Amino acid sequence: MKRRTWLAGGLALGGAGLLEYLSLRGDFDNRSAVGTTNGDRYRQSIRRLDAGEVKNGLLHLAHSTHLIVLDGKRILTDPWFFDPAFGSLDHAVLPPVQAEKVGKLDAILVSHDHPDHADPMALDRLDKSATVFVGLKELETKLRLLGFKTVVRIGEWEQGKLGDLEIAATPALHDSPEVGFVLSGEQTSVYFGGDTTLIDDHHRIGEQFAPIVSILPVDGTRIRWEPLLVMDPTLAVEATRRLKSRQVFPSHHEAGYSDPLAEHLLSTTVRGAGADFSARVEEQLSGVKAEQPQAGELVPLILRG
């Protein structure tokens, strides 16, 4: 009986270890549908957009997924709507809408190929007539296989067009290849930083584009004992200085690790990073407006002049 107990324990431990390995490898990513929250707020925001009340705004969905509206065009960033079936990174704040109900899109920006930024289950349910902008050949291939007809790959410092909007890819630094994006419209401009940490090129982005609005990752994700993979609030404040932005939004701060092993290996160093960043901006950067929208909330963007 004792031998059977040991055998059962060994098998259970081995099975758990295999599940952890497969989870960290990504085999269970983007398999589990999540619920929604703040649906009424989201529908009210969409009604305002449909009525033309806001032609330049940001509608926050969750984590790094935002609906940017520039000159009336709707651009979705880094879609993430499905959690893993087992372990790893889950939504701490649920999106206000399911992917298939996001509706008409003019463009989708995908900064890099991580499951919380390039969710294949979500992408397969989004508007396939949208133009997708990426910086990586592998992402271009995956998106074409999902059925997107127009996928535009632009390298660092290169530019593409979406009607009259200009979309530039910018350097970024993460633990996988990545780009950021600058969107320039007639009335305002927006920098989307994806998952980047602070880089010297933020000086050049500020000099070359001076984006009026910046969307910056702030949760300070790192592999323990390693440098930051994602900006924390302190670095994001410095990025705001370098970018010369007048309005900033925290991003990449609404996820958590449900898997104990992943939580041990990957640490979000700042609790309440979005609020922390906004408070630091208000204290340290005169003339910069720090926003902190809830899921489903639409915020008008500051315009030129």
**pLDDT by 10-residue block (mean), the chain, 305 residues:** 46 40 45 70 96 97 96 96 69 90 97 88 96 95 96 97 98 86 98 94 98 94 75 96 98 80 66 93 97 97 94
Residue 34 lies in a domain: yes
Q: Residue 131 falls within a domain, yes or no?
A: yes
Q: What span, in angstroms and rounded, lies between the C-alpha atoms of 134 and 79?
A: 13
Task: Determine the Cα–Cα distance for residues 245 and 97; give it in Å rounded to an integer.
Answer: 29
Query: For the chain, what is the domain count?
Result: 1
What lies within 8 Å, CB to CB, of 12 at 6+ separation is: none
Within 123-185, strands assigned E span 131-134, 151-153, 159-162, 165-171, 179-184
Question: Domain residues for 287?
Answer: 20-297
Q: Is residue 303 part of a domain?
A: no
Distance in angstroms (rounded) separating the CA atoms of residues 254 and 270: 11
Q: Give the pLDDT score at 265.
A: 67
Overall pTM surpassing 0.85 (yes/no): yes
**Is 184 among the domain residues?**
yes
| Joined tokens for residue 164 | 């009259």
Structure tokens at 29: 């990513």
Is residue 102 one of the residues assigned to a domain?
Answer: yes
Determine, yes or no, domain membership for 210: yes
For residue 8, is it within any domain?
no
Any idea what the CATH number is for the domain that residue 215 is in? 3.60.15.10
Specify if 6 maps to a domain: no
